[in-house]
Amino acid sequence: KQEVTQIPAALSVPEGENLVLNCSFTDSAIYNLQWFRQDPGKGLTSLLLIQSSQREQTSGRLNASLDKSSGRSTLYIAASQPGDSATYLCAVRLGVGNNDMRFGAGTRLTVKP
Amino acid sequence: ETGVTQSPTHLIKTRGQQVTLRCSSQSGHNTVSWYQQALGQGPQFIFQYYREEENGRGNFPPRFSGLQFPNYSSELNVNALELDDSALYLCASSLGLGDTQYFGPGTRLTVL
């Protein structure tokens, strides 16, 4: 059974710091991995999607890496800003024809001005 | 192009009642999935619909049921509500099976 874990559960950093969020999954047979952002009480905004054959994806100040064999992904945020404060969720998709995504519980990030 | 929309935004029900939540897919999307997100947890997959038929289901009892209409909008129905059904319900649409999912803002259900 695929289980997704995110560490740490919460993180508080001063503005301008670079930071890394971690995601691990127990079964390496994934189709892809996706990072989302969720603001309090809101829906999910997709940040980056990495296919199982890829090693990393970049978008602006965000960089996500995937090491499928070890069951790990990281989300790197450069030069953090107060507007980055949110919960960050990672999710793995189990198969190409399957929309079943397994989510971690998220990391709640606070960036202090 | 409009995104995924959900209604209502908030809902309060009492135990034992029934509820219907609605989702309008992004234009051109024929696949919709529903998720339940309890407070402090990640979303859990309930089921997905592809071209009006259920095409996958998570570990939820039969009192969670759904429909997808010819215009690909969707409903989630929950019967015999329990206190643990209190959660944020998210729907997500995609162009097809396995494609990137786009999430709606969610419906916050409170069961008293």
Task: State the greatest distance between any 2 C-alpha atoms of chain B, in Å, as a whole number.
Answer: 39
- Give every strand in the sheet of A62-67, ordered side by side: A4-7, A19-25, A72-77, A62-67, A56-59
Pick among B21, B101, B110 to test the A interface (most A CBs inside 10 A): B101
Q: Are strands B19-24 and A19-25 parallel, antiparallel or unpaired?
A: unpaired
SS3 per-residue string spanning A1-64: CCCEEEECCEEEEECCCCEEEEEEECCCCCCEEEEEEECCCCCEEEEEEEECCCCEEEECCEEE
Tens digits of residue pLDDT in B18-38: 999 999 998 889 999 999 999
Cα–Cα dist A3/A102, whole Å: 7
Cα–Cα dist A103/A87, whole Å: 12
Tens digits of residue pLDDT in A62-102: 999 999 999 999 999 999 999 999 999 999 998 776 667 89
Three-state DSSP state, A78: coil
Q: Binning pLDDT at 50, 70 and 90, where does residue A47 land?
A: very high
Among residues B2, B4, B6, B28, which one has the least CA distance to residue B107? B6
Considering only the beta carbons, identify the residue of A41, A44, A99 that sits closest to B94.
Answer: A99
Considering only the beta carbons, identify the residue of A43, A95, A96 that sits closest to B104.
Answer: A43
DSSP 8-state class, residue B47: E
More confidently predicted of B85 and B99: B85
Answer whether A57's CB lies under 8 Å from A64's CB: yes
Q: Does B106 touch chain A (CB under 8 A)?
A: yes
CA B92, B104, A108, B111 torsion-angle sign: negative
Distance from CA of A46 to the nearest CA of B (A): 7
Considering only the beta carbons, identify the residue of B42, B92, B98 that sits closest to A89.
Answer: B42
Q: Binning pLDDT at 50, 70 and 90, where does residue B98 land?
A: confident
CB atoms within 10 A of CB B58: 17
Contact A99 B31 (CB under 8 A): yes
Q: Which of A80-89, B85-94, B99-108 is predicted with the least confidence, judged by mean pLDDT?
A: B99-108
